[in-house]
Chains A and B, each alone.
Chain A
Amino acid sequence: MPLSREAVERLFAEQVGRDIPPDVAEAVAAVAGPIIDGLNAIDPEPLWLVEPSTVFEPRYPAERSDEDELL
């Protein structure tokens, strides 16, 4: 079911803890809805053993040469 303005208003009232103007809620539903639907439509099975990409840690082995090993 597509994300509705009412659902966005309820999310803000119950979880975010502040009000959102109806026109903004309508636009939020239009922007976020397709992303949520799109992510839900991707089969999670191939992702079962895949860890999320993490940040702020060395993610790539640095290219090293023999000279580096001597340093």
Chain B
Amino acid sequence: MSSYDDLPFLPVTELAPLLSSRQVSPVELTHQVLERIEAVEPKVNAYITVLADEAMAQAKAAERNIAMGNYLGPFHGIPVGLKDLLMTRGVRTTAGSAVLEDFVPDEDATTVTRLRQAGAIFTGKLNLHEFAFGVTTNNWTFGPTHNPWMPGHIPGGSSGGSAAAVAAGECIAALGSDTGGSIRIPAALCGNVGLMPTYGRVSRYGALALSWSLDHVGPMTRTVTDAALMLNVIAGYDPMDTATQPVPVPDYTDGIEGGLTGLRVGVPRNYFFERIHPEVKQGVEQAIARLGELGADIVEVDLPWVEHSLLAEFAIVMAEATSYHEHLLRTRADKYAPDIRVLLEAGEAISGPMYLKAQRLRTMIKQSFRAAMEQCDVIATPTLPHPPVPIGQDTVTIDGVEETTLDCMVRYTCPVDLSGQPAIALPCAFNDQNQPVASLQLIGRPFDEATICRAARAYEATTDFATRRPPL
């Protein structure tokens, strides 16, 4: 076997051929990733639980199986991190909360099972905003996760540990979950790729819920093709999740290099470019122009009702989360972080008619997206209005308007959770200090993750962002 010393920063697409051809052993790769975790965790704090022994045992088994000719596919021998709200058999699953500090599930989440069956190696359980109810990953129980590109700043959330770990080379890929933007927000702030699949495309079974009707589980990776490869593994009908649908799962890498010629890219005239940081706006507008240069037809679209997204999102999430947590609020309320307890108790104030009005607004928002997508194949927007903020900063001011950091970070992402369509976030601008400042969000038709991956890959291929490393 050859010697490689930077394996933790290679994408799955480069590692898989090295592993399958036995030029690199899963043991060597996992060892390097665990060394990286040990070296940078004091600065990043991406993990709640590191599974070093278990990962090495899995790596040795993968090495044996590959040597015996039993190569399972691109994720065989790949170190993967899991957001710590995905249940793992025999491994503590905290949801980032003292409320569940002793919870050890006796089964895996379906997505974990599928990755396990694909030969993935689990490096550990990743930090998150408590119960996924926030965007900073400034975790009250397990400490804040730092943005690897700018320590002292938030990595985003709620899947902040997942994004930070991928960016810092502490795993090759990770699983996250997204209810208002929790895959795409941290991916954007940490300069990597986050893919929220269509609602019903990937099983939520075994993912501790924030909001049943809005929760999505999806890939967080270094590159677009890695996200497509991971979706190949985790997508599909699951009888344990009644929301999943028996829609055929294609190979999401088929045609991913097909380019943009003839693709219609819709750019919203309203909402998505309002109250936006100038650096972000410039980066996203340049990225959309690049899509045009690559052969896409850029068309303007209108998205009425989308301006009500924040109200609908918070009313739905609060009501559903409060219901989910009812027994815990009655017995362990003092174990919640104070801000999380407030959000959960606030759901009691959302009446039944209020909840249903929010769901009716959601219908209008969904119809608005469907109408817009009759004029285009993909909608392009900024993922976020603002670059990373310092840890502990509770508000953001843009154009003289102050809003909470939570509201600011979910403004452009939560409309897509409400519509249930797939969306991918990928970096589109770094500043002079080599820090990610802008991310492009590409939104697709339901179950058409392949097209947003193709468009994202075409753009990604013109940049070097996926090869950059944070200065840790």
Interface residues of A (CB under 8 A from B): 3, 8, 11-12, 15-16, 18, 20, 24, 27-29, 31-32, 35-36, 38-39, 42, 44, 46-47, 50-56, 58-60, 62-63, 68
Residues of A within 8 A of B446 (CB): 59-60
Q: Does B213 contact A53, Cβ atoms closer than 8 Å? A: yes
Shortest Cβ gap from B10 to chain A (Å): 34
Residues of B within 8 A of A62 (CB): 245, 247-248, 447
Stretch with Cβ within 8 A of A (4 or more), from B28-36, B217-225, B360-368, B452-460: B360-368
Instruction: Mark each residue of chain B from 357 to 385: 1 if its CB lies under 8 Å from any CB of chain A, else 0.
Output: 11111111010000000000000000000
Q: Does B363 contact A35, Cβ atoms closer than 8 Å? A: no
Residues of B within 8 A of A32 (CB): 318, 346-347, 349-350
B420 within 8 A of A: yes
Shortest Cβ gap from A45 to chain B (Å): 12
Residues of B within 8 A of A16 (CB): 348
B193 within 8 A of A: no
Residues of A within 8 A of B318 (CB): 32, 35
B448 within 8 A of A: yes
Stretch with Cβ within 8 A of A (4 or more), from B263-271, B283-291, B307-315: B307-315
Task: Give the docked Cα–Cα distance between A27 and B359 (Å).
Answer: 25
B104 within 8 A of A: no
Q: Does A24 contact B245, Cβ atoms closer than 8 Å? A: no
Task: Give the docked Cα–Cα distance between A15 and B213 (Å).
Answer: 25
Which residues of B318-341 have CB atoms within 8 Å of chain A's CB atoms?
318, 330, 338, 341
Q: Does B213 contact A36, Cβ atoms closer than 8 Å? A: no
Kindly report which residue of chain B lies nearest to residue A55, judged by CB atoms: B213
Shortest Cβ gap from B361 to chain A (Å): 7
Residues of B within 8 A of A63 (CB): 445, 447-448
Q: Does A42 contact B447, Cβ atoms closer than 8 Å? A: no
Residues of A within 8 A of B248 (CB): 62, 68
Shortest Cβ gap from A30 to chain B (Å): 8
* CB < 8 Å neighbour of A36 from B212, B338, B349: B349
Q: Does B354 contact A39, Cβ atoms closer than 8 Å? A: yes
Shortest Cβ gap from B450 to chain A (Å): 10
Task: Give the docked Cα–Cα distance between A45 and B314 (Å).
Answer: 22
Task: Give the docked Cα–Cα distance between A68 and B347 (Å).
Answer: 44
Most A CB within 10 A of own CB, among B308, B350, B357: B357
What 8 pairs between A and B have smallest CB-CB spacing?
A: A52-B359, A32-B349, A60-B446, A55-B213, A53-B362, A32-B346, A27-B342, A31-B346
Interface residue tally on B, bucketed by range: 35 or more
Q: Does B350 contact A36, Cβ atoms closer than 8 Å? A: yes
Q: DSSP class of B's interface residues: helix, strand, loop or mixed?
A: helix
Shortest Cβ gap from B128 to chain A (Å): 20
Task: Give the docked Cα–Cα distance between A14 and B359 (Å).
Answer: 26
* CB < 8 Å neighbour of A28 from B308, B349, B362: B349
Q: Does B308 contact A42, Cβ atoms closer than 8 Å? A: yes
B198 within 8 A of A: yes
Q: Does B348 contact A12, Cβ atoms closer than 8 Å? A: yes
Task: Give the docked Cα–Cα distance between A61 and B311 (Å).
Answer: 28
Task: Give the docked Cα–Cα distance between A24 and B338 (Å).
Answer: 8
Shortest Cβ gap from A40 to chain B (Å): 8
Contact A3-B349, Cβ < 8 Å, known A24-B342, A35-B311: yes
Q: Does B356 contact A35, Cβ atoms closer than 8 Å? A: no
Residues of B within 8 A of A42 (CB): 308, 311, 357, 361
Kindly report which residue of chain A lies nearest to residue B211, judged by CB atoms: A55
Contact A39-B357, Cβ < 8 Å, known A60-B447, A63-B448: yes
Q: A31-B343, A55-B213 are known contacts; what are 9 more A-B pairs with Cβ within 8 Å?
A: A3-B349, A27-B342, A28-B345, A28-B349, A32-B349, A42-B311, A51-B363, A52-B362, A62-B447
Task: Give the docked Cα–Cα distance between A60 and B420 (Å).
Answer: 10
Kindly report which residue of chain A lies nearest to residue B421, judged by CB atoms: A60
Shortest Cβ gap from A36 to chain B (Å): 6
Residues of A within 8 A of B155 (CB): none
Residues of A within 8 A of B77 (CB): none
Contact A47-B247, Cβ < 8 Å, known A31-B346, A32-B346: no
Q: Does B315 contact A39, Cβ atoms closer than 8 Å? A: yes
Q: Does B356 contact A52, Cβ atoms closer than 8 Å? A: yes
